[in-house]
A and B are shown apart, each in its own frame.
Chain A
Amino acid sequence: MDILLQQLINGVTLGSVYALVALGYTMVYGIIGLINFAHGELVMVGALTALSVIAALLRLGLGLPPAAMMLIALLAALPVCMLLAYAMERVAYRPLRRAPRLAPLITAIGVSIVLQNVAMLVWGRSYFSFPPILSVTNYDVAGATITDLQILIVLLSAALMAGLLLIVHRTRLGLAMRATAENLGVAALMGVDANRIIVAAFLLGSALAAVAGLMVSAYYGIAHYYMGFLLGLKAFTAAVLGGIGNIGGAMLGGLLLGVIESLGAGYIGDLTGGFLGSNYQDVFAFMVLVVVLTIRPSGLLGERVSERA
C-alpha cells in the first residue's frame, strides 16, 4: 500500500509540472485556436537558461545560498522565455492570424524544430546535469518518502495556478482574455485590443513554462536541448485530456496525467503479465488519452473554444 502512496506522490509532483505547461497550451488555444507546438521548447529554453545562470554563479564563487541562486536563475529565465514567446507570436503566428488553421499549426512545428536546433547550437548536444546545489531532505510519510523539492514543486505550482485563476477571473486583463476567448470579433467591438490580449496569453504561458523548466531540471537533475519535445507533447495531451481551452481542465488534466503515468509505469508489468515492461511508461499516458477522447471527445471538463461567427 505504501507503494501506491509513493507512486501518487511522484505522480502529483510530475502532474503539477505537466499542469503548468498545459496551461500555456490551453490559454493560447482558447483564444486563437492555435496549438503552440513550440511551447515545450519554451520550457527547455527556461531550463537551460536557468542552468547556465546557476553554473555561471557557481563559477563566480560568490557563495550564495542555493535558494538565492535558484531565484536569480528564475529571474533570468523569465524574461528570456517571455521575450521568446513574444517573438514567436509576432514573427510566426500573427502574420497567419487569418490563414486557414493548418498554416499556423505547421508553423508551430517549424518553430519548435528551429528552437531545438538553436538550443543545440547555443548549448551543445550533451546532457547537462543540474549543479548539486540542492541538498534534498527526505520526509517519511506513512511508509512513503517525500522530498522537500517535491513539496516545493507541488506548492509552487499550486500557488502559480491559483495566481493565474485570480488573474483570469478577478482582473480586467482576465476579463478581456475570457471575452476574447469567447468571441474575438465581438470582444474587439467591445474595445478589447485583441493583439494585446493574445500577447498577454503568450507571455503568461511562457512565464509558467520558465518556472516549469527550472523545476523539471532541478527535479530530474538533467537538462538538454531535446527535453522540451516529449514534455510538450505530454502537456498538450494533458490539456486535451482536461478539455482544451479550459483552464481548470488543463490543471486537472496535468495532475491526472502525472498520476496515471506514475501508476501506469509502476503497474504496467503486472497488468500485462510481463509482456510490456516499465520502459513503455510513455506509451501508457498516450493510450489513456486515446481512450478518454474516444469516450468523451471534448475532454473531461469540456473544451472551451471561441465561437467563430
Chain B
Amino acid sequence: MAAVRVGSILILACAIAGLAACGDDKKAAGAKGGATVTIGIAAPLTGPQSHIGKDLENAVRLAAEDANAAKVVVGGKPVHFEVQAEDDQADPKMAPVVAQKLADARVAAVVGHFNSGTTIPASRIYNDAGIPQISPSATNPKYTEQGFKTAFRVVANDNQQGKVVGEYIARELKSKALAIIDDRTAYGQGVADVVERSAKAAGANVVAREFTTDRSTDFKAILTKIKGTRPDVIFFGGIDTQAGPMLQQMRGLGIEAQFVGADGIQSTELFKLGGNAVEGTLASFPGLPLERMPQGASFGERYRKKWNQDVVLYAPQGYDAFNVFVEAMKRAGSTDPAKFLPEVAKTDYNGITGPIRFDEKGDLKDGPITIFKAVGGKWQALATIGGPSQGQGAKAAEKN
C-alpha cells in the first residue's frame, strides 16, 4: 500500500515537473548576433469579435515582417522582431490574465487591446510591469485618464467621437426623435452616454434609451419598444456582431429609422452580418478613411496580398502602433522598455494613418473623426471632422 502511495506521488511529481518544463520556450529564433524583441498583441482572437481581433493580429504580423525585412538597427545592433499574440476573448475578466501572461513573457511592448472594456483593466498590469501599451482602437476616455505613463492610443477618444456623432445627429440629420441602444460594455455605454449628452445639447430629443448585452442575438423586444416611440434615428453603441442582426430585426419589424453607430460597427464585416438591411447605415470612425490615409491605399493592397482579405477595421492603426514602438526604440537606442518608454511619449511620427503625436495623457493629438455611410455594400466617407490640418476642435467638415 505504502509503495503504491509513494509510487503515485512520484509519478505525479514527475508529471508536474514535465508540465512545468514544457512552458513557453521563448528561445530567440535569433538574428545572427542581434537581439530578438517580442512585441505582444492582445485582442479577441476567438469568439464573436474574432474577425476584428484577427485583423489586428494580421496587421501587427505584417508590421513585424516589414520591420524585419528593413533590417532595423537599434543602438548599433540589428534587431529581429517577434510577435506574441494572445486572445482576450473581448472579456474584461480575461484581459488581466492575458496582460499578466504578456508581462511575464517580458514582451518589450504591447499593441492592445481592442475593446475599451479589456484595454482598461489590462493597462493597470502593463503599467505595473512598465510595458508601453498602445491601443489601436480603444476609445473610452477612461483608458488615458488613469494617469498611467504606459498607456497610449493612436485613435481619437469617445469624448471627441461621441460629440461629433451626437452633433451630427442633431444638426445634420435634424433628428426629432432619437432612440439610443447600448451593449452595456465600457465602450458601448461610454460612447452612447456621450452621444446622448451631445445630441441633447445640440437640440435633439432623446425618446428612448434601451440596453442589451454584448452576447445577445435577440433584440426584438427592445426594438419593438423603441418602435412605439417612433424614432427617426436609432444610435447603437456596440460592435458589428450585434449591429448586423439588430439591423435585420429592425427592418423585419418595419422600423424605418436611420441607424447610426460608432467605430464598433464600421467594419467590412457588417455587410456580411446584416445583409441588405445595412444599406444607408451611418457610422463614425476615430480616424481617416483608408483611401485618405497618407499610405492607406498601398497598405490596403499589401494587406490584401498577404492575408487574402480586405482590412476589416483597425489594421492600419495596429500597424502604426507597432511602428511607433520601433521608432521609439531607434530613438532611444535601446529595446529595453524602461529606456524607450519616455521616447514613446515624445513620438512625432508620420504613420500610414497620418501624423502621430501624443498629448500628456497618452491620447492622440488632433485625431480626426470620419462619418461613413454604407452604400452598395461598402463604406463611403461622408465627412471628416478635426484632424491635424484643421487643428483641434475646428469643425470644418471636408465633404468628399
Contacts and interface: CB of A to CB of B under 8 A. Distances in A.
A124 B48 CA distance: 11
Nearest to B248: A221
Interface in A275-300: 277-279, 281
A32 B18 CA distance: 45
Contact of A138 (B220, B241, B254): B254
Contact of B222 (A132, A149, A278): A278
B50 A221 contact: no
B225 interface: yes
Contact of A125 (B46, B220, B225, B253): B46
Contacts of A220: 217-218, 245, 249
Contacts of A224: 48
A16 to B, nearest CB: 14
B210 A7 contact: no
Interface residues of A, number: 36
Contacts, number: 101
Contacts of A14: 218, 220
Contact of B221 (A129, A147, A149, A261): A261
A7 B249 CA distance: 13
A132 B276 contact: yes
Interface string A127-145: 1010010001010100001
B279 to A, nearest CB: 12
A279 B254 contact: no
Nearest to A265: B221
A266 interface: yes
A238 to B, nearest CB: 15
A279 B213 contact: yes
A132 B217 CA distance: 16
A107 interface: no
Interface SS of chain B = helix
A261 B216 CA distance: 14
A298 B145 CA distance: 55
Given A6-B227, A261-B221, A266-B224, A126 B210 contact: no
Interface in B226-273: 227-228, 241, 244-245, 248-249, 251-254, 272-273
Interface in A1-34: 2-3, 6-7, 10, 14
A57 interface: no
A145 B253 contact: yes
Interface in A199-223: 220-222
Given A126-B46, A126-B47, A279-B212, A262 B217 contact: no
A126 B50 contact: yes
A9 to B, nearest CB: 9
Given A221-B244, A266-B221, A136 B47 contact: no
B51 interface: yes
B211 interface: yes
B210 to A, nearest CB: 5
Interface residues of B, number: 34
Contact of A277 (B50, B210, B276): B210
A224 B252 CA distance: 22
A74 B378 CA distance: 33
A126 to B, nearest CB: 4
Contact of B48 (A7, A127, A261, A281): A127
B88 to A, nearest CB: 13
A136 B46 contact: no
Query: Residue among A138, A263, A278 with the most chain B CB within 10 A?
Result: A278
B217 A278 contact: no
A190 B241 CA distance: 55
Interface string B187-222: 000000000000000000000001111001110111
Given A136-B252, A140-B254, A278-B212, A262 B46 contact: no
B142 interface: no
Contacts of A281: 218, 221-222
A7 B219 CA distance: 11
A136 B251 contact: yes
B220 A262 contact: yes
Nearest to B220: A10
Given A6-B227, A278-B210, A278-B212, A127 B241 contact: yes
B45 to A, nearest CB: 9
A269 interface: yes
B273 A129 contact: yes
Given A6-B253, A140-B254, 16 more contacts: A3-B224, A7-B225, A124-B46, A127-B48, A129-B275, A136-B248, A138-B254, A145-B252, A147-B252, A220-B217, A221-B248, A222-B245, A261-B221, A263-B221, A277-B210, A279-B216
8 contacts: A14-B220, A138-B252, A220-B218, A265-B221, A266-B222, A266-B225, A269-B225, A277-B210
Interface of B: 46-48, 50-51, 184, 210-213, 216-218, 220-222, 224-225, 227-228, 241, 244-245, 248-249, 251-254, 272-276
Interface of A: 2-3, 6-7, 10, 14, 124-127, 129, 132, 136, 138, 140, 145, 147, 149-150, 220-222, 224, 227, 261-267, 269, 277-279, 281
In order of increasing CB-CB distance, the 8 nearest A-B pairs are: A265-B221, A145-B254, A132-B275, A125-B46, A3-B228, A277-B211, A279-B211, A10-B220
